[in-house]
Each structure stands twice: as C-alpha cells, then as structure tokens.
Amino acid sequence: MSEAAQLIEQIGKRARAASRKVAWLDGEVKDNALRAMADVLLAKRVHLQNENAKDLEAGRANGLTSAMLDRLTLSDKVIEGMAEGIRQIAALPDPIGEITGVKRRPNGIRVGHMRVPLGVIGIIYESRPNVTADAAALAVKSGNAVILRGGSEAIHSNRAIAACLAEGLAMAGAPADAVQVVETTDRAAVGALLRADKYVDIIIPRGGKSLIQRVMEDATIPVIKHLDGVCHAYVDEHADLHMAEEIICNGKMQRTGVCNALETILIHQDVATTFLPAMAKRLHTGGCALRVCPRSAEAIGEAAPTQPATEADWEAEYLDAILAVRVVDSMDDAMDHIDQYGSRHTEVIITKDYAASQRFLRQVDAAAVMVNASSRFNDGFQFGLGAEMGISTDKLHVRGPVGLEGLTCQKWIVLGDGQVRS
Amino acid sequence: MSEAAQLIEQIGKRARAASRKVAWLDGEVKDNALRAMADVLLAKRVHLQNENAKDLEAGRANGLTSAMLDRLTLSDKVIEGMAEGIRQIAALPDPIGEITGVKRRPNGIRVGHMRVPLGVIGIIYESRPNVTADAAALAVKSGNAVILRGGSEAIHSNRAIAACLAEGLAMAGAPADAVQVVETTDRAAVGALLRADKYVDIIIPRGGKSLIQRVMEDATIPVIKHLDGVCHAYVDEHADLHMAEEIICNGKMQRTGVCNALETILIHQDVATTFLPAMAKRLHTGGCALRVCPRSAEAIGEAAPTQPATEADWEAEYLDAILAVRVVDSMDDAMDHIDQYGSRHTEVIITKDYAASQRFLRQVDAAAVMVNASSRFNDGFQFGLGAEMGISTDKLHVRGPVGLEGLTCQKWIVLGDGQVRS
C-alpha cells in the first residue's frame, strides 16, 4: 500500500469512528461546537494569517496570478466571514432525527422514515481556504464526519483552519476527528480518497471542470456534482417583453462566471423582431458579445454587432459576457433545444400564458425550472436552505443546491409489538 | 463500435425519446396502457408458452437444474400472476407531478419541489422471465422508459413478453419504445448497457451476488442495488423472551433464501442462560444449524447440537437454515457488532425498555431498523409501497424497498413575477 493510501486509511478509520459519535450528538452540542469553532478561528487570527503567509509566499514563487493569490488570502474580512458563516449554520434547524410518514399497517406495525446523516463526506476543492470552514460546519451540523482535501497551494492555511475547527469541536465535547484535513500535497492522496469506499460514503468536488471530471473518472464512491451550467431562458410568444429583458440581463450579466448564469436565449419567432433589437442593444452596451442564429441576426439587424453562432455555441458554457441567441418556431422547439444542449441545471420561461408556464414547468428536465424569474436564483441561500455545500445536476439523491438535507438520508423505522410474517 | 454497443446505442436513443413522452402522460393513459399490457399477456398465453418452450428445451439441453427450469417456466399461473401484478400497479396512485414544500421567499418568488421520473432505467436480471413484466410496469407507472436485459436462458420468453407489453402500450397511445428488451444473448451487450450513460439514468441489477458485483464494477451509471443481507436480531436484557423467540424463528426460518432473513442473533449476557436453551432447541428441531460463540455454547449446553462460530460466521449471509449466535455484554457491544459485520440491510431489537428501543432505532445504521418486529417485514408490499423494483442498501437516493417513488426524483420549481437578483 502506498504512503498516500496508508494516510487515507488512517484518516478514514478515524473519520468513520467519529461519524458514529457525531451522528447522534444532541443538536445543542453540535451548535455549541460550531460556535466554538467560530470563536477559535477569530482567536487564532494572527496564527492563521502567519500560516497563510507561507502559502502566499510559495504561491508568488510559483507564479500564481493575482486573482489566484487574492482568493488564497485570509484577510481579516475573510476570517470574520468564515466565523460568521459557521454561526449562521449553527442557527439553522437540526435536520437529524426527523421522523416522517409513519403509517400503521394492517398487522399493526407502524412504518415510517427517520432522517439520518450520510456518514463520512469527502470534499475535494481548489484554492479558496474558506471552503474548509464552510464545508466542515455543514458536515458537522448534519451529523457527518468530513475529510477535506484542498488545493496544495493552500496547504498551510487549510491545516491551520482545520486545527482551529478540531479545537472547537473538542471544547464542546464533540469528536475532533469529525473534521480532518488531508495533510499532504501528494496528489496520490486524492486518488486514494476517491477509492476509500470502506470509509467514505460520498465525495463532493468543488471546483473547475477538470477537477470534477477527474473525480468522476476515478471515484468508486458516489459523487454529488455539477459539471456544466448551460442554462437557457425561453421568451414565449406571450411573454411580458420588458420582464424578459430584465430577467435576461440579470441572468447573463449580474455575474458572468457562475454556473447559474444564462448562456443561451431562445426567442419565439412571433416576438423576435419586437424583442431582439432592444435586447441586443442593451446587452451590447453592457459589454456582452452575441452569437446568433440567422433569424436572430435578421431580427437584430443593425441594433448591435453580432457573430454567427456555430454548433459549438449551443453547447458552450461561456462563463463570460457572451450570449448565444436563437429564434425558435414554438415552445416545443425551445424545449427540444434545451433537451439537446442543456446541462439540466437551470431553465427559465418568460410568459404570461398559464398553459405554457405549466407545460414548461412539467416537461423541462433540469435541477431547477423557473417561470418569470432569473436563473441566478438557483442557489442555496436564495432557495431558503440557509447555506449550500455545492450544487447537483445529477438526478439521484439531490438536485440543485445541496443544503443540510442533501447531506442526510432517510432510513426506514418499524415499530412493532411482536409481529411476525405469516 | 462493436455490434453490441451499436445495438445498445439504438435501443438507448429510442428509450430516451420515449422517456420524454411517457414522462408526462396523464395518469389515466398510463393506467390504460398497463391494463392493456396485462390483457395482451393473457390473450397471447399460447404464444408465450410456445416461445417459453424453446427456452425450456435449450435449458434442458444445457443441463439447467430442475429448480432453474421451474423458475424459467411460464405456467398458466405465472402468466396470470404477471397480469394481476401489472393490474395492481395500475391501481396505485401516480407519483408523478406531485408538488411539495412550496414556500414564498422574501422577494416574492415561490420555491418548491416537483416529483418527476428518473428518465431511462436499465434493469439487468437473471432467469425469472416474470421480472420482465413486473419491472416494465413499475417503470411505466413512474413515467420512465425501461431497457430490460434478462438472462440469455430466457431470451425467447423475455422477447415474447416484451412484445406483448409494447403492444399494450401502443394500444393505449403510449410510446411502445418505453419498454424494450435487449434482444441478443451477446454478453458484450451487458457491458455496453452498463456504460450507456448518455441514454440510461440508472441501472438496477436483480439477481445473485456475482451479477451485482459485475454491475458495480463495470457501470459508469449510478446503480441501485443491495449486495448482502447480513441481518441481526438483538435480544435485549429487558426483552419479552417469548416474543424474541417468535421473532427469531420467523426471521430465520419463515424463508431462508431471502435477503431479509436473519443470519446472526446477539443475546444480552443477562438473559443468555434463560433464553438460549429453549431457543436453540426450537431452532434445531426446525432444522436450523447453530454456529455459536463460547458463551452461547455454554448457555445452550446439551439443549441442542452446536458448532463453534468462526470469524467467517459473523460475516456470512447463509441464505440457508444456519444461524450464528453470539452473547454480548451490552447493547453497545451489540451495536458495535452490527456496525462491524452488518450489511446495513435490516436490524432488529427485541426489548420492553423504552430508552433502549429509541437508542437502537437512532444509532443503528441500516436501510430498516425495527423494534419488536420480524426482519422479514423489510419488503415493499409489507411497507405499503404496493410493489418493489428491488431493495437498496446504499445510502444515496433510496434505502430499503424501491417502490414507485424510488424510480422518481424531485426537481426545484420557481414561480416568479419577474424577480431578478440584486
């Protein structure tokens, strides 16, 4: 067994043992532990920043961009933000132990569900060290143990943050091993973690597409992930066109580098010439480039510069101020386009027509389907989950923002009085 | 691309197209289709039995055992049973389209969940051809398309059954491609199906352990499965010992070859000498062999013949009239044993003590945890699901019996009035 595999096995065994303890801590103990974790982070600010300085120095030596160094920096504000984030998670209701749907069967046994933790969660993430605190807090609140593997460029910072979190856990009488960081930059450790199915129940990768693809390929453990966010807005023939303009501008331009931003808009042919010129002009003025189908080009005319869209544009997740535009014959054509090119993340219809709204809601397959609202709302805070561990475009277990409940499962419980099967 | 892969791609494309149609059929259309499927099966009884005779003849030539030939036979009773099973599934409530948990957010958007089909389900199963009808009916009722790959020894039977089912679908105006059988005995087709992640959303293997292990190893698609059923009953110090005896006899002996049968019993030390002699004698008289720990042997004494248990006995799924018996110091020791050796399938406590019952219910991790009831109740019909596609000992998505709801997922829906994110 390689050194990395041995390390992961040790960490995994400790996590598994801790998970059995943290699973049934009283909510009060978990919340005290979370608040202690926040307190220790604030108390050790200087130490955290000293450790962070080592990562920043190595990062500069290794030629990280200033944006990357920025994300890596544990400023006072970032540390205060981590502590505040943990306190907010402590204030959420405890999801564990909820019993639902108990029904009495003809023979008198009562059968229902109890919500329980998943067990051990492995998180693999990239440069932002504040994910360490955030992910650990969500895992502990939902009764899980967590193994964190951050980017090697943040190793000192992550290690120092995890030590603070473990100290907070121990102060509250919770098992310190419920939060562990993989303390090596050996890349083989990631591979070992992805195959540690004896100890780890689920892997959540947080980061760019190449990270997520590697995790998908190598993991023998179930993965909660999203790979692409190719999100569409469809402007129906009966849309409020002013509303459509606002929703599209917001969806594309409010923040371009995020997975719930719009990448393509689909316009019903009957409103193309009314809608597209002003829309295109506004997007262009806002700095957005347009990749358009022939009919869109014709409708837009001289209102804004455009480039012809190619097949690759319909599949593109630009993560940038670029928007693909296509005119469609009907809502069915729009839904076919979405089915073919969408990534099942977030899909929006703008319409005043009741029947169209209901049919789009029902028939479009995505983690979130919206009527007359911005795609940017597909987010744990916006949906009222309080916080999110990530977002899922898979169909199994959890779709969309993964909040506390997404880190749990339900087991069956049976309450009998001696019944046997005849 | 191999011939098998090409075939799977063709089937997969048709299934994907059909799944979009069947997903939003009215419940009435689906139920009419199911009843038509049942009618056609009954009407084509002679044809089914002629095709079945080909499989039986080949089976005899290939030396199948009489038990295997028996499972393969489409008797009148089996055909009537298939039709009746489909009618029962038609009578269940439609799970699709249910909207739950809609909450108004501060900005006025309403956010909730809608229950939707998974899409395309691949079922890989062994010799019993009646699974073809059963699995197809559950898939259609839950709005999914299904690709069925049965054992090669049942190829003529499965093909004939599937043709009846497709005819029934078409009669009701439902897409016939929603039910397809992989019409080849080429084993490469299984491998191709397990990797057809472009077309298939989930794989459900039904059969013995070697089949399930192969599926787990080769699938790139999520799998719903159970591998082992190492189920325990723990007799607490405060158990009703008569009740314990009934529950253990039922759990072990009512049917021995099933996954929810008991394999090990754990007895609190304080009741071992009172409980074990009579229990052991009764099990022995019933034809059950006992593999016991030293303290159990001492407690049982001359009441019944026993063999010493080895480490392998604690891990064994006997699927036979054999029971492992261990005396434990405490409930915590029993729970440690279950954690170490159990397969997270079904775990039972027999106790009159309220606190012990609640702690066992909470702390034991399994698909089903029971108080004072037989492990044999972990079953879709017994739990009130109406029918089951299989059973899951995984933690994600669905645990325990997989009924109609286990073949669905929930997407987020957002109902707005033009809200954008600020």
B330-360 pLDDT, tens digit each: 999 999 999 999 999 999 999 999 999 999 9
* Residues B14-34, mean pLDDT to the nearest whole number: 96
Q: Rounded to whole angstroms, how far apart are CA atoms A350 and A357?
A: 8
A212-243 pLDDT, tens digit each: 989 988 888 889 988 889 999 999 999 999 99
Q: Look at residue A419 and tell me if it is in a domain.
A: no
CA neighbor of A361 nearest in space, from B398, B405, B110, B19: B110
Of the partner residues A24, A368, A413, the one whose CB lies closest to the CB of residue B414: A368
Contacts of A412 in chain B (CB under 8 A): 367-369, 378, 383, 399-400
Query: Per-residue confidence at B47, pLDDT binned at 50, 70, 90?
Result: very high
Cβ neighbours around B321 below 10 Å, total = 15
B413 contacts A369? CB cut-off 8 A: yes
Q: Nearest-CA residue of chain B relative to A335?
A: B20
Q: Name the minimum distance, in Å, from the CA of B21 to any CA of chain A.
A: 9
B254 contacts A374? CB cut-off 8 A: no
Interface test with B, best of A99, A365, A388, A394 (most B CBs within 10 A): A365
Residue type, B61: A
Contacts of A394 in chain B (CB under 8 A): 222
Tell me the average pLDDT of chain B. 95
B24 contacts A414? CB cut-off 8 A: no
pLDDT of residue A184: 86
pLDDT of residue A254: 95
Of the partner residues A24, A369, A416, the one whose CB lies closest to the CB of residue B370: A416
Share of chain A residues as helix, strand and coil, in percent rounded to the nearest 5: 45, 20, 30
With H, G, I as helix, E, B as strand and everything else as coil, classify residue B104.
Answer: strand
Cβ neighbours around B75 below 10 Å, total = 11
Q: Rounded to whole angstroms, how far apart are CA atoms B317 and B105?
A: 50
A88-131 pLDDT, tens digit each: 999 999 999 999 999 999 999 999 999 999 999 999 998 688 88
Q: Look at residue A12 and tell me if it is in a domain.
A: yes
Q: Nearest-CA residue of chain A relative to B113?
A: A368
Contacts of B250 in chain A (CB under 8 A): 420-421
Q: Look at residue B209 and tell me if it is in a domain.
A: yes
Contacts of B382 in chain A (CB under 8 A): 105, 109, 111, 421
Q: Rounded to whole angstroms, how far apart are CA atoms B319 and B262?
A: 9
Domain holding A291: CATH number? 3.40.309.10
B409 contacts A400? CB cut-off 8 A: no
Q: Look at residue B418 and tell me if it is in a domain.
A: no
- Alpha carbon of residue A101 to chain centroid: 29
pLDDT of residue B184: 86
Q: Rounded to whole angstroms, how far apart are CA atoms B302 and B300?
A: 6
* Residues A12-26, mean pLDDT to the nearest whole number: 95
Q: Look at residue A396 and tell me if it is in a domain.
A: no
CA neighbor of B113 nearest in space, from A180, A231, A401: A401
pLDDT of residue A228: 87
Total structural domains in chain B?
A: 2
B396 contacts A370? CB cut-off 8 A: no
Q: Look at residue A392 and tell me if it is in a domain.
A: no
Q: Nearest-CA residue of chain B relative to A20?
A: B363
Q: Name the minimum distance, in Å, from the CA of A284 to any CA of chain B.
A: 20
Cβ neighbours around A192 below 10 Å, total = 23
Interface test with B, best of A352, A377, A385 (most B CBs within 10 A): A377
A376 contacts B421? CB cut-off 8 A: yes
- Is the domain of B409 the same as that of B282? no
- Is the domain of A214 the same as that of A124? yes
- Is the domain of A113 the same as that of A170? yes
- B219 or A416, which is more confident: A416
Q: Look at residue B421 and tell me if it is in a domain.
A: no
Of the partner residues A251, A416, A421, the one whose CB lies closest to the CB of residue B254: A421
Q: Nearest-CA residue of chain A relative to B242?
A: A418
Assess contact for B88 and B380: CB atoms under 8 A.
Answer: no
Interface test with A, best of B396, B407, B410, B413 (most A CBs within 10 A): B396
Q: Quote the tokens at residue B216.
A: 């787990």
B230-277 pLDDT, tens digit each: 999 999 999 999 999 999 999 999 999 899 999 999 999 999 999 999
Q: Quote the tokens at residue B60.
A: 């005899």
Domain that holds residue B175: 3-224+402-413
| Polymer length of chain B | 422
Q: Nearest-CA residue of chain B relative to A371?
A: B415
Pairing of strands B408-419, B110-117: antiparallel
A72-100 pLDDT, tens digit each: 999 999 999 999 999 999 999 999 999 99
A246-302 pLDDT, tens digit each: 999 999 999 998 999 999 999 999 999 999 999 999 999 999 999 999 999 999 999
Cβ neighbours around A105 below 10 Å, total = 16
Residue B288 has pLDDT above 90, yes or no: yes
pLDDT of residue A118: 96
- Is the domain of A219 the same as that of A259? no
Interhelix angle A45-61/A27-43, rounded to 10 degrees, is 70
pLDDT of residue A56: 96
Of the partner residues A362, A384, A410, the one whose CB lies closest to the CB of residue B105: A384
Q: Rounded to whole angstroms, how far apart are CA atoms A360 and A335?
A: 8
Contacts of A418 in chain B (CB under 8 A): 240, 243, 246-247, 372-373
A361 contacts B114? CB cut-off 8 A: yes
Contacts of B222 in chain A (CB under 8 A): 222, 394, 396
Q: Quote the tokens at residue A83.
A: 């502590």
A116 contacts B413? CB cut-off 8 A: no
pLDDT of residue B37: 97
Q: Nearest-CA residue of chain B relative to A24?
A: B363
Query: Per-residue confidence at A354, pLDDT binned at 50, 70, 90?
Result: very high
ipTM (interface predicted TM): 0.93
Assess contact for A346 and A375: CB atoms under 8 A.
Answer: yes
Q: What is the DSSP letter of A399?
A: -
- Is the domain of A124 the same as that of A155? yes
Q: Rounded to whole angstroms, how far apart are CA atoms A157 and A164?
A: 11
Contacts of A247 in chain B (CB under 8 A): 418, 420
CB pairs under 8 A between A and B: 200
C-alpha distances (whole Å) from A188 to each of A10, A218, A305, A334 are 15, 11, 49, 45
- Is the domain of B144 the same as that of B251? no
Assess contact for B125 and B147: CB atoms under 8 A.
Answer: no
Backbone angles phi, psi at A151, to 5 degrees: -70, 150
pLDDT of residue B196: 94
Burial B356-373 (b: 16+ CB within 10 A, else e): bbebbbbbbbbbbbbbbb
- B362 or A207, which is more confident: B362
- Is the domain of B41 the same as that of B85? yes
A240 contacts B384? CB cut-off 8 A: no
Residue B127 has pLDDT above 80, yes or no: no
A396 contacts B397? CB cut-off 8 A: yes
- Is the domain of B184 the same as that of B296? no
* Residues A34-41, mean pLDDT to the nearest whole number: 98
pLDDT of residue A130: 86
pLDDT of residue B217: 84
Backbone angles phi, psi at B145, to 5 degrees: -95, 155
Assess contact for A17 and A177: CB atoms under 8 A.
Answer: yes
- Is the domain of A128 the same as that of A276? no
Of the partner residues A240, A384, A417, the one whose CB lies closest to the CB of residue B111: A384
Q: Quote the tokens at residue A140.
A: 């502990």
Q: Rounded to whole angstroms, how far apart are CA atoms A337 and A227?
A: 19
pLDDT of residue B209: 85
Q: Look at residue B396 and tell me if it is in a domain.
A: no
- Is the domain of B217 the same as that of B246? no
Assess contact for A129 and A72: CB atoms under 8 A.
Answer: yes
Query: Per-residue confidence at A309, pLDDT binned at 50, 70, 90?
Result: very high
Contacts of A417 in chain B (CB under 8 A): 372
Q: Rounded to whole angstroms, how far apart are CA atoms B388 and B135?
A: 9
Cβ neighbours around B315 below 10 Å, total = 16
Contacts of B395 in chain A (CB under 8 A): 118-119, 201-202, 409
pLDDT of residue B329: 98
B302-317 pLDDT, tens digit each: 999 999 999 999 999 9
Residue B126 has pLDDT above 90, yes or no: no
Of the partner residues B201, B382, B395, the one whose CB lies closest to the CB of residue A119: B395
Domain holding A67: CATH number? 3.40.605.10
Of the partner residues B201, B396, B411, the one whose CB lies closest to the CB of residue A368: B411
Contacts of B368 in chain A (CB under 8 A): 411-414
Q: Name the minimum distance, in Å, from the CA of B250 to any CA of chain A.
A: 6
Contacts of A415 in chain B (CB under 8 A): 370-373
Tell me the average pLDDT of chain A. 95
pLDDT of residue B277: 98
- Is the domain of A238 the same as that of A214? no
- Is the domain of A247 the same as that of A191? no
Question: Which DSSP helix (H) or strand (E) runs through A322?
Answer: strand A322-328
Question: Which DSSP helix (H) or strand (E) runs through A268?
Answer: strand A262-268
